[in-house]
Amino acid sequence: MTTMPLDTTAPEVSSDTTPAGTPRAAAARDHLWGHFTRHSVYEEGGSVPVIVSGDGCRITDDRGRSYLDGLSGLYVVQAGHGRTELAEAAARQAEKLAFFPLWSYATPPAIDLAERLAAHAPGDLNRVFFTTSGSEAVETAWKLAKQYFKLTGKPTKTKVISRSVAYHGTTQGALSITGIPDAKAMFEPLVPGTHKVPNTNAYRAPEHLREDPKAFGVWAADRIEEAIEFEGADTVAAVFLEPVQNSGGCFPPPPGYFDRVREICDRHDVLLVSDEVICAFGRIGSMFACDDFGYVPDIITCAKGITSGYSPLGACIASDRIFEPFKHGDTTFSHGYTFGGHPVSAAVAMANLDIFEREGLNQRVKENAPAFRTTLEKLLDLPIVGDVRGEGYFYGIELVKDKTTRETFDDDEAERLLRGFMSGALYEAGLYCRADDRGDPVVQLSPPLICGQKEFDEMESILRDVLTRAWDRL
């Protein structure tokens, strides 16, 4: 997977230096360990792209070049870059109380934010357990599900069902739930008890179901019940699903899919976890995307957009039913994080949600999403574009060799197309987005929620140029 150019000509080295007097580009090469990064490129003479500032929908690098942020950093910067009031909220809280843990204590920002999130969450999801990240939120949800069933007399219910190609995080438990074999192989053995079912990629659905979305939804949901019954319902604790699956290229749920999944989970006493680390906080439209698709989960995991990225924070939001057995006697959920619910992060989240309400960002996404889709669908006239799919401000463009047969690229071709050309070409053309090979090759777009038609048109124009050049290179 790539979110930055990996095979591009080195930009001019910035004149900026570190406090030690080293050029920053050199210091980045020699000391900074990038996440999901091929460092061989930099060792061979390439330079790490250095982003120094952001304003609204745009970011600027150390060469002074401006780029449209078509990915909200990493599905994070919902309210846009350069929001002074979020920085000021952090400063005010840090001056008053910079840190205190939630280990048997509380702080006003954490209390206020927990109440506010509970008010936005559907059903009786009223208990908020704060984490620092999305991976930690997923890890928390699995541990919570295991202990819940032990406390309610069903100690063998420990397994998890999730979908193929789905990404749920990098910690050992979350990575075990993740359905991307290449992301897991080097860290095996992982936590046992995770099982995968087909995802909701309608473009790659069985041929007899491609023209009937509702039938495809039933088929995909029934694979979950099949897995539960095969493993034994008395051994399965939870099903982890994203409202719109990220990895593989933005797979929305077919009509009726989540209704049927909810029925299946209820029938087998299995918890439904809505992993909304990406989809929450307006990315699809509503504050929580389960509301966009009309289902009530037992647990929501979230992070990223909760603070628009101005401070790290995540959360696991559980129903009153899940919390009930933890209310009595000496029972404790023996789990926590030093920085979970950090008072500065919680204060920033409160200010971020103030922006959502004041500027109507959720409604803005709902009103502008059809225009975003229509603009991106113009690219379907290109021979390399097989499918445009997604919801809200979250879209994937699948690339193919043959539109008629839907033939995809082999591994070598995908390597040359995505890493060898497109990732760098899009960046140099002024668009930061994601060229992703975790599945069939796709380009993903997830712009800040403040974007509108002007930015949609800019994305389409840049993509048209780069995709046309990519096709000519094949």
H/E stretch holding 439 reads none
CA distance 298 to 300: 7
Assigned CATH for 84-359: 3.40.640.10
Q: Which of 118, 114, 120 is nearest to 102 (CA)?
A: 114
- What average pLDDT does the chain have? 94
Distance CA 295, CA 63 (A): 47
CA distance 389 to 444: 10
Q: Residue 47's pLDDT is what?
A: 81
**pLDDT in the model for residue 470:** 94
Q: What is the pLDDT of residue 367?
A: 98
Amino acid at 70: G
State residue 415's pLDDT score.
86
24-70+361-473: CATH number: 3.90.1150.10
pLDDT range class, residue 379, cuts 50, 70, 90: very high
Q: Worst-scoring range by mean pLDDT, 289-303, 340-354, 423-437?
A: 423-437
Query: CA 67, 6, 444, 257 torsion: positive or negative?
Result: negative
Two tokens, residue 460? 């389409």
What's the rounded Cα separation, in Å, for the pair 127 and 255? 29
Q: Which residues contact 96 (CB under 8 A, 6 or more apart)?
A: none
Answer whether 90's CB lies under 8 Å from 109's CB.
no
The C-alpha angle with vertex 378 and arms to 468 and 371, in degrees rounded to 5, equals 140
Pick 418 or 281 by higher pLDDT.
Answer: 281
Tens digits of per-residue pLDDT, 407-448? 999 888 888 888 889 989 999 999 999 988 777 899 999 999
Q: What is the pTM of this model?
A: 0.95
249 is written with which tokens?
A: 């290229």
- Specify the pLDDT at position 13: 40
- Overall average pLDDT of the 173-179 stretch: 97
Question: What are the phi and psi torsion angles at 17 (to 5°)?
Answer: -125, 160
For the cut 50, the answer to whether the pLDDT of residue 393 exceeds it is: yes
pLDDT at 1: 46
Query: Quick one: tokens of 296?
Result: 């009530």
pLDDT at 6: 41
Sheet with 442-445, edge to edge strand ranges: 385-391, 394-399, 442-445, 434-436
- pLDDT given for residue 40 in this prediction: 85
CA distance 294 to 258: 8
- pLDDT classification of 15: cutoffs 50, 70, 90: low
Here the tokens at position 350 are 């409160």
Tell whether the model's pLDDT for residue 164 goes beyond 50.
Answer: yes
Residue with the larger pLDDT of the pair 24 and 366: 366
CB 134 within 8 A of CB 276: no
User: Which tokens hold the place of 130?
Assistant: 């704060």
The answer to whether 24-70+361-473 and 84-359 have equal CATH topology is no
Identify which of 343, 345, 338, 352 has the alpha carbon closest to the alpha carbon of residue 312. 345
Token pair of 352, please?
A: 């971020």
pLDDT of residue 362 exceeding 70, the answer is: yes
Angle at 352 between CA 351 and CA 356, to 5 degrees: 115
Domain spans of the chain, in order of start = 24-70+361-473, 84-359
Whether 292 and 285 have beta carbons less than 8 Å apart is answered as: yes
Distance CA 197, CA 225 (A): 10
Q: Residue 9's pLDDT is what?
A: 42
Model confidence at 5, pLDDT cuts 50, 70, 90, reads very low
Residue-wise pLDDT for 107-138, tens only, equals 999 999 999 999 999 999 999 999 999 999 99
